[in-house]
Structure 1
Amino acid sequence: MQGLPKATGQTPAQQYAAKRMQADDALDLLRDADMIIVPTGAGEPPALLTALSAQRQRFQDIQVAQILAMRKFGYFDQATSHHVRHAALFFGGASRAGGQGGWCDFIPNYFSEIPVMIERGQMPADVVFAMASSMNEQGWFSLSLGTDYTMAALAKARVVVLEVNPNVPFAHGACHVHISRIDGLVESSEAVIEVGLPTIGPVQEAIGKYVADMIDDGSTLQIGYGGIPDAVVMQLTDKHDLGIHTEMLGDGILSLVECGAITNRKKTLLPGRMVATFALGSRKLYQFMHHNPMVEMHPSNFTNDPYNAGLNDNLISINASLQVDLLGQCGSESIAHLPYSGTGGQVDFVRAANRSRGGKSFIVLPSTARDGSISRIVATIAPGTHVTTSKNDVNYVVTEYGVAQLRGKSARQRAQALIAIAHPDFRAELRAAANRMCVF
């Protein structure tokens, strides 16, 4: 829980009544040049950010920092970006155009280290705007949908405003903040944003099968978002005693709980409990999280810390990439120099799986892009590409053509293994490039 309650002489209900306000009134707490910290994904507060958008021209040089924006609020606007500007910790559909156009900022990071950057003052945290559950009788709210770096920001911020919504689950874990720490409360009752499972085609299904076949009963899983990770999930329903230590809770994980594949019994860190730092899925998922002792939400410097996550034996990490070169370097977050997403937790969990006794990390990607016209297995990373996971960290790379195991292998062996899982149309070209590079 975020600190101890401060003595105020008022009951929690009295404090709540005194701090309740409209979203427009909350804007009076802002100052020019503030950095507003907003939680990941579904934890973003729509009423507050809609009000900020409508009145953005009141302000100068305000930034809104967030790892994954879900809605394209009005402040995603090049013409007014000198008033309110998005600072992306990870790009998504709402922010990508601004990042590629240069009018949204980008703060490179490892997800596990954002709280540390805030704590050390390397990244400012003047204000927190966040979605929260309803308050319990003792005066606590749960930031269950986006615990992430927001808990660290709460400890540093001058102003904290919560958008309180009864549809937000009250979850267990280190995700609670007391009414005495809050400066403003804005009430909302709209449905929490929902994200369905991605479409899975034959390529994703083939990759998923290769990975699923290498996951043993009793493994602990980190599963990223996307078609391929969910294709893996679909093929794990006959497994037993799986556990979860991940960054994102989604509906794929919920489906494995419902079929009995996930029990968390054999986890070596927090057995019996699944651990995550944010949730993004359906209303059914959010209801499942509510007061569920099986689920704990923790900050990302706990969930994503490679040492902590690696304390789970047989940790399996599954993350997608856009491009892998013949040394095994992964360009997972940009298309050449143009930003596409971000580092997120990929490196955190690759390193965690490498630390884990019996752990396996998988980088998954289709062999081609643009209807088969471009190989995603490349001789060298394209100029300007943001390298996400290094050649020293990558272990398994999987396409629909098979699995390349890289750790402990020479540059020559790596090139041979990666060319073998490239699309057949590009293998000769890749061999010729490897010969020119003196890898073969």
Structure 2
Amino acid sequence: MEAREVTDTSRVRNKAFLSKIMSAEQAAELVPNGAIVGFSGFVGSGCPLLVPPKLAERAKRLHAAGQDFKISILSGASTDPNVDGVLAEAEAVAFRTPFFTDKNLRAAVNSGKTGYMDVHLSSLAGQVEAGFFGKMDCAIIEVTGITEEGKLIPSTSIGNNPLWLKLADKIILEVNTIQPPELEGIHDVALLGIAPNRKPIGINRVSDRIGSPYMDVDPNKVVAVVLTESGDRVNKFNPPDPVSTAIGDHVVAFLKQEEAAGRLPKGRLLPLQSGIGNVANAVLAGLARAGYRGLECYTEVIQDGLLYLIRDGVVDMASTATISLSPDAVAEFRRDVAFYSKHIILRPQEFSNNPEVIRRIGVIGMNGMLEADIYGNVNSTHIMGTGMMNGIGGSGDFARNGYISIFLTGSTAKNGAISSIVPFAAHIDHTEHDTMVVVTEYGFADLRGKCPRDRARAMIAIAHPDYRPMLQDYFDRACAQPKPGQTPHILSEALSWHDRYVKTGTMKP
């Protein structure tokens, strides 16, 4: 539904905040040019959707009058077209971190109009609190309500909101009255702090809680409260296709192999993390078909596939930073929020993605990628090595620290013009040291315990048949050089596939 302002004050249960209610347009005037602004939002959920468009309108007016207006945006992860999109289209974004998905912002980033820094999602809060990005001027945060004591009830994501509320000089709250009131209590809010004052995190099981259901805020810093009615950005997921279904089946086959070898508990696995998109949903569907029950997930996103596994008893408990669903799944969630709140915990991302917790409880990380090379280096961010797609997100948090790190991809892209398995990755986000298993529709390459040459043979075996002979030829000639080294490469050809695609539109000769 389209976001709109409302007059219903029932969600504002503290009198001090009632006096701060104003329009989104009035609130937008309180954000100064050059401000560093912390926004709520994580994969489109829990974003403020009324004030940012008014900021964009203001930017356009000021630009037309020959005046400057740009801000720096810090968030949890991706936001919404009514945040990143409208502000980028208005040329009002000077700097952005840590993750985005909007096409307007992507164009601004790749043209150099907007500076972008790619940051691991688990790391941003600590870096901001340490002052690496400068002083946060404003925070614009969506909540679902304000309690009688002045505490904030978070929305469908938490992201970095508790820290933004702590650090920002001025705070604008959007109280979204369409979100179910039953969300109260589903959250587990805490602050991690920075070195040397961090304390051990008491999460030993997925179901453990360490904080409060509410976020704290200094009421004196709140300069505006905007009453809204706005649905989250809803994602559109395609039905499983043969490629994604095959990938899901291969993941299940790998997990069954690990159970049989005694490396995973039979029937229960270890806590699962699943990335975003159609392939991730297909993998989760594969778990249901395989008959698993009572699983646990320690992840950053609950999307359709995971929600339905909770509904069907395949997953008993899921810890996450956000709930990001399709329209049908949103309706399902709202029909039975009371049920789902018993099986879901929403946390800040410095806990949902915390490397120490991920490593200690033994999370199995499953993430998508753009490409991998024959030795297992993974590119998850840059198209042809230069064009930023979205950012690394939380994949590095789980890949480097997970008990098992799995990367998923179809073997080709652009109708076969691009191979997802290449001689050398044009950009490396996850080195061979962090990549354990790579899965395509042609099988899984188990890279654990293998030297580079054996890794290459395993990777070539799961490439698309059209590209396997080319990969094998490259590898054979690299190994036949007078001094091939431990990791054989032909340096003059290592990126030739990408160069050929840029020049001709295909990696094929």
Name the TM-score, length of structure 2 as normaliser. Answer: 0.76
2:128 is the alignment partner of 1:127:
no
Give the superposition deviation at 1:286: 5.2
Deviation digits for residues 149-189 of structure 1 (CA, Å, limit 9, x no counterpart) = 22222111001111101223333211632464433210001
Q: Distance in 1 between matches of 2:28 and 2:230?
A: 20
1-structure distance, mates of 2:240, 2:341: 30
Residue among 397, 403, 417 paired with 2:444: 403
2:6 counterpart residue number: none
Q: Which of 27, 40, 45 lines up with 1:42 in the alignment?
A: 45
Alpha-carbon distance, 1:245 to partner:
0.7
Deviations, residues 366-386 of structure 1 (Å, cap 9, x unaligned):
11112112211001112xx2x
Q: Which moved more, 1:36-45 or 1:398-407?
A: 36-45
Partner of residue 188, structure 2: 173
* Contact 2:364/2:402 (<8 A) preserved: yes
> Which of residues 74, 87, 91 in structure 2 aligns to 1:75?
87
**1:198-233: CA deviation from partner (whole Å, max 9, x where unpaired):** 342111110111112334522311111111111011
Counterpart Cα distance in 1 of 2:460 and 2:414? 19
What is aligned with 2:274? 223
Note if contact 2:147-2:153 (Cα within 8 Å) is conserved in structure 1. no
Q: Is the 8 A contact 2:47 2:232 kept in 1?
A: no
Deviates more, 1:55-64 or 1:123-132: 55-64
SS in structure 2 of the partner of residue 308 of structure 1: helix
Task: Identify the match of residue 233 of structure 1 among 276, 284, 288.
Answer: 284
- What does residue 226 of structure 2 align with? 186
1:316 is aligned to 364
- For the pair 1:374 / 2:418, whether they are aligned, the reply is yes
Tell me how large the CA RMSD over aligned residues is.
2.1
Are the equivalent residues in 2 in contact too, given 1:362–1:396 (CA < 8 A)? yes
Q: Is the 8 A contact 1:243 1:263 kept in 2?
A: yes
Which structure 1 residue ranges, 5 or more long, are not aligned?
Answer: 1-10, 265-273, 355-359
- Secondary structure of residue in 2 paired with 1:87: strand
Quote the Cα distance in structure 1 between the aligned partners of 2:409 and 2:297: 22
- Letter of the aligned partner of 2:111 in structure 1? G
Question: Displacement of 1:84 after TM fit?
Answer: 4.2
Residue in structure 2 matched with residue 20 of structure 1 by the alignment:
21
Residue number among 368, 390, 394 corresponding to 2:435 in the alignment = 394
Could you list the per-position Cα deviations for residues 68-92 of structure 1 after superposition, in whole angstroms to 9, with x for gaps in the alignment? 1321543222xx52x4445142231
Residue identity in the other structure for 2:286: Q
- Indicate the residue corresponding to 2:373 in structure 1: 325
Contact 1:198/1:230 (<8 A) preserved = no
Q: Which amino acid aligns with 1:248?
A: V
Q: SS state of the match for residue 128, structure 1?
A: strand
Alignment of 1:161-310 (within 5 A): 161-168=172-179, 169-170=183-184, 171-174=186-189, 176-178=214-216, 180-181=218-219, 182-215=222-255, 217-219=267-269, 220-237=271-288, 238-264=291-317, 274-281=318-325, 282-284=329-331, 287=334, 292-310=341-359
Using the alignment, how far apart are the partners of 1:32 and 1:194 within structure 2? 31
Note the alpha carbon deviations across 1:272-305, whole angstroms, 9 max, x for none: xx21112211423653556924322111111111
Measure the CA separation in 1 of the matches of 2:107 and 2:337. 33
Contact 2:316–2:343 at 8 Å: present in 1 too?
no
CA distance in 1, matches of 2:399, 2:230: 37
User: CA contact under 8 A between 1:16 and 1:179: conserved in structure 2?
Assistant: no
Q: How far apart, in 2, do the equivalents of 1:285 and 1:100 lie?
A: 38
For residue 310 of structure 1, report the CA deviation from its aligned partner: 2.3
Which sections of structure 2, spanning at least 5 residues, go unmatched?
Answer: 1-11, 63-67, 190-212, 256-265, 480-486, 489-509
State the TM-score, normalized to the length of structure 1.
0.87
Q: Cα offset for 1:344?
A: 0.5
- The question of 1:138 aligning with 2:149 is answered yes
Alpha-carbon distance, 1:436 to partner: 3.0
Q: Distance in 2 between matches of 1:14 and 1:97?
A: 44
Cα distance in 2 between the residues matched to 1:17 and 1:93: 34
1:104-154 deviations in Å (ceiling 9; x for gaps): 321121100011111101124221112111223433222232312222221
**What is the percentage of aligned positions where both structures have the same residue?**
26
One-letter amino acid of the structure 2 residue matched with residue 22 of structure 1:
S
Q: Distance in 2 between matches of 1:201 and 1:343?
A: 25
Contact 1:393/1:407, CA 8 A, preserved across alignment: no
C-alpha separation between the residues in 1 aligned to 2:102 and 2:418?
23
Q: Name the SS of the counterpart of 2:372 in structure 1.
A: strand
Task: Measure how far apart 1:19 and its partner are.
Answer: 1.7
Name the counterpart of 1:55. Answer: 58
Give the one of 57, 65, 77 matched to 2:74: 65
Could you tell me which amino acid in structure 2 is paired with residue 52 of structure 1?
A: L
- Give the match for residue 270 of structure 1: none
Alpha-carbon deviations, 1:397-416, whole Å to 9, x = none?
00111111113210100000
Paired residues in the alignment total 409
Kindly provide the CA deviation profile for residues 8-53 of structure 1, in whole angstroms up to 9, marking residues without a partner as x.
Answer: xxx9521121121111121232222111111222222110111111
Give the secondary-structure state (helix, strand or coil) at the position aligned to 2:254.
coil
CA distance in 2, matches of 1:257, 1:135: 29
Query: Which amino acid in 1 is paired with 2:366?
Result: I
Tell me the amino acid that sits aligned with residue 242 of structure 2: P
CA separation of 1:90 and 1:180: change in aligned 2, threshold 3 A: closer
SS in 2 for 1:218: coil
The question of whether the paired residues in 1 share the 8 Å contact of 2:177 and 2:229 is answered with: yes
